[in-house]
Structure 1
């Protein structure tokens, strides 16, 4: 019993609150005007988008609302972030469903990451595999970064 309790406490300490950042899913309607402009631009096609607000705030917008006929709908089930030195790693789980009308699934998500420090790199992983952001926006200008 003591070993199990010790293991749980260790896991909580290792995965607990990082003082350098926090993150949460936010409603697009509750985002500020600049973020809503970015969403308005980005939501016309599926993709992975990053917005840097210049105030150590980072927004990750993942869009999968457009479904090609005959393909399963893409939705997003989990989001997590960790930092390793000067690199911020963003992890998203992407899943598929053939029921296009299932309104409980998240076909489009917006996350805000609040940071204390700036990071030299932001990596995106979908289902554990590294992928690039389709476009990166920041400081009121469009930065296109495609791999």
Structure 2
């Protein structure tokens, strides 16, 4: 599904979308808002690059960050749910990862965790290992994966 088709489907379903992004720095929101008329669907985007921003803007718990680190499905879940709670959206996607360069033995470059939250639907999380593709390619791959998750979320909401 193209971004324009995603926006058309969301509009037809009456669904507003919000994003909560860390390593992509707003690339998902930018991809959505590149399309004319997207204001009918895109409610807002949170760029929460630091742990403090994740806590202040999305309500991510310090305990979660301490226990699992920012790049974790637990934090991705709290980011997506915080975006849902702190916006007028019915569908949110979150992204937190290590775009590179660098990483560690435990959290390698290219690891990205995603969350998808929607009204009345259990939150989904997923980790994708894109590998050490380089910063730009990891970020673009994460953006594209998040857009695909939004498409899946719209399908789920339509089945509800």
TM-score for both structures, normalised by structure 2:
0.35
Higher relative contact order (CA 8 A, sep 6+): 1
- Tell me which structure has the larger Cα radius of gyration: 1
Q: Which is richer in strand?
A: 1
TM-score for both structures, normalised by structure 1:
0.37
